[in-house]
Amino acid sequence: MTDFTPTEMMTIAAARALSNDDVCFVGIGAPSAACNVARLTHAPDITLIYESGTVGTKPDVLPLSIGDGELCDTALFTVSVPEMFRYWLQGGRITTGFLGGAQIDRFANLNTTVVGPYDHPKVRLPGGGGAPEIASNCGRIFITMALSKRGFVEKLPFVTSMGHGEGSDHRERLGLKTKGPTRVITDLCILEPDPHTKELTVVSIHPGVGRERIVENCGWPIRFAETVIETPAPNETELAVLRDINARTKKAHEGAGPGKEAA
């Protein structure tokens, strides 16, 4: 078995969650890497959609932003942003939304808005972007982010996008017919909501990771499912594809920075 980093394991485990039939709304960063590894390995016909309006895109390098030219150049077609959010997302055409976040709680609600009070934030984060409606309108949601005490918190200062709210049947009580978050893929383990309480529960642990490390890196007393499996290690193809696309991406994003050159 080849050596791999926790981040590589995370991306590959996230990629495996997707299938060929998915129509996937892709968040930037870690979700984008996972979605494209899926496309380049076991799910060649997956439809990747970025909120900038690009549908069926097949980027050769990972985009830095949600609207890089690469996404449009390789898309089946590109629509306006209102059309994207109205017809395709709100219209219920997207099977899977893939999100990241700054903070998550035990019911997979996400915060990317503020740390501290909204009116006097300690840290002002970028905000929700497409996430509030991606979270409610996609058939299901996958989330990928590294497990850490800062990220996995007991209580969110702000709910940017709803996961399972207060747990149990909260989504249904608000009239939502979509599933919400069904899997959270971290660098140490995979979590899924408990079928009844909807609390995120460890269902799979990555190779070489002990339970204590997971407990130590989570901001709430994390629960383990009755049956916990070991995540299969990345195979050589998965690693090669991921490393290739990362190398191509790094090369493409390097270049002259904004010194005297820039206007």
In the set 159, 228, 233, 240, which binds other proteins (CB under 8 A)? 159
**Active-site annotation holds for 51:** yes
The token duo for 175 is 């009239």
Cα–Cα distance for residue pair 13/231, rounded to 1 Å: 8
The token duo for 121 is 């934030």
Residues 195-254 that bind other proteins (CB under 8 A): 252-254
Q: What are phi and psi of 241, to 5 degrees?
A: -65, -45
Query: In angstroms, what is the minimal distance from the CB of 255 to other proteins?
Result: 4
State the burial class of residue 217 (Cβ atoms within 10 Å of its Cβ: 0-12, 13-18, 19+): buried
* By the rule CB under 8 A, 176 interacts with other proteins: yes
Q: Given the residues 8, 51, 70, 238, select the one marked as catalytic.
A: 51
Report the candidate in 164, 23, 174, 38 with the shortest Cα–Cα distance to residue 87: 23
Output Rg (C-alpha) for the chain, integer angstroms: 18
* By the rule CB under 8 A, 57 interacts with other proteins: no
* By the rule CB under 8 A, 127 interacts with other proteins: yes
Cα–Cα distance for residue pair 41/11, rounded to 1 Å: 13
Residues 9-38 that bind other proteins (CB under 8 A): 28-29
* By the rule CB under 8 A, 51 interacts with other proteins: yes
Query: In angstroms, what is the minimal distance from the CB of 23 to other proteins?
Result: 17
Q: Is 216 helix (H, G, I), strand (E, B) or coil?
A: helix
Residue numbers at the binding site for other proteins (CB under 8 A):
28-29, 51-54, 60-61, 63-73, 78, 80-82, 84-86, 89-90, 109, 113, 118-119, 121-133, 136-137, 158-162, 165, 170-171, 174-176, 252-260, 262-263
Please list the active-site residues: 51
